């Protein structure tokens, strides 16, 4: 699976938009980009997934440039409850034998 690189940590104030960028230079043609959120002592929670351009849901937006070598998770107007670790993963979503490969993620701290 393509290796990903993300910032170790980020701080933000409440109400701000937060953008977390992930690098995946070796992404393969069939790979999708998926982001998970994890709170302390809980399992990761699926946030959003995309292949190219832009994807938006009720929680976040995912921006993927044409070369797909990076992606940006955008969280609009964060609140204290968005404090969590965010993981960027890439992989072929239709290859059931390939496991999810997590890095260390980005620890987001939202400050009042």
Question: Does the protein bind another protein through residue 42 (CB under 8 A)?
Answer: yes
Q: Residues with Cβ < 8 Å from 96, sequence gap 6 or more?
A: none
Question: Does the protein bind another protein through residue 58 (CB under 8 A)?
Answer: no
Closest to another protein by CB, 9 or 26: 9
The single residue among 26, 100, 109, 111 that binds another protein, judged by CB under 8 A, is 100
Q: Which of 75, 30, 25 is nearest to 52 (CA)?
A: 30
The single residue among 9, 104, 109, 111 that binds another protein, judged by CB under 8 A, is 104
| Contact assessment for residue 1 and residue 98, using Cβ atoms and an 8 Å cutoff | yes
Shortest gap between Cβ of 16 and another protein (angstroms)? 25
Question: Does the protein bind another protein through residue 44 (CB under 8 A)?
Answer: yes
| Contact assessment for residue 86 and residue 105, using Cβ atoms and an 8 Å cutoff | yes
Q: Which of 3, 8, 1, 5 is nearest to 108 (CA)?
A: 8
Contact footprint for another protein (CB under 8 A): 32, 34, 36, 41-46, 49, 87, 91, 93-94, 96-105
């Amino acid at each position: 699976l393509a290796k990903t690189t993300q910032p170790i940590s980020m701080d933000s104030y409440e109400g701000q938009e937060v953008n977390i960028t992930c690098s995946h230079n070796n992404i393969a043609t069939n790979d999708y980009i998926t982001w998970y959120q994890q709170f302390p002592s809980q399992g990761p929670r699926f946030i959003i997934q995309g292949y190219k351009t832009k994807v938006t849901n009720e929680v976040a937006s995912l921006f993927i440039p044409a070369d797909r070598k990076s992606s940006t998770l955008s969280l609009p107007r964060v609140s204290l409850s968005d404090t969590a670790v965010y993981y960027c993963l890439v992989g072929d979503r239709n290859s059931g034998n390939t496991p999810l490969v997590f890095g260390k993620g980005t620890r987001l701290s939202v400050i009042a």
